[in-house]
Amino acid sequence: MSNRILIVDDSRDVADSLARLLTALGYESNVVYDGRAAIEAADQFHPDLAFIDIGMPGLDGYEVVRRIREQRGHIHVILVAFTGWAQAADIQRAYNSGFDLHVTKPMSIDTLKELLTLLDPAVEQSQVTKIFHLAAKGA
């Protein structure tokens, strides 16, 4: 498996724990701890999926996503808001800002595995719709 996953979170414990879990599941990950580093990492690492915290100092997750979306080489990356902000307005703002999915911390292993199936080219559209629905509900 060669899927690349970028993890962006100012909480080093959260970011590093997710990276260790992804490595154990066979994924390649890159961890950064702030928004500016995230933009550089996206440009150099070319992730297939990125978990991005929203509430970071400096460049927040909304701005990170906006800038990544502006980069031509990142059209197909799946951007996941990975945050503790779970009010309806927070979720809507995440989608309006360019995130593909919104997942509330802490994320269950089952939810993580469901999200990772998005990287499988054999996944049927009905399964993708189910995953997006689960993530939107904060499952």
Percent of residues, the chain, with pLDDT higher than 90: 64
Q: Which domain holds residue 91?
A: 4-136
Q: Is the CB of residue 55 less than 8 Å from the CB of residue 80?
A: no
pLDDT confidence tier of residue 66, bands split at 50, 70 and 90: very high
pLDDT tens digits for 92-130?
999 999 999 999 999 999 889 989 988 887 776 556 555
- Provide the pLDDT for residue 17: 97
Residue 79 pairs with which residues in a beta bridge? 50
Q: Coil, helix or strand for 56?
A: coil
User: How many domains, the chain?
Assistant: 1
Cα separations in angstroms, 13 against 7, 18, 30, 77, 129: 12, 9, 14, 24, 31
Rounded to a whole number, what is the distance in angstroms from the first to the last CA of the chain? 26
Please enumerate in sequence order all residues whose Cβ is within 8 A of that of 87, keeping only pairs 6 or more positions apart, or say none. none
What CATH number does residue 56 fall under?
3.40.50.2300
Q: Answer whether 0.85 is exceeded by the pTM.
A: yes
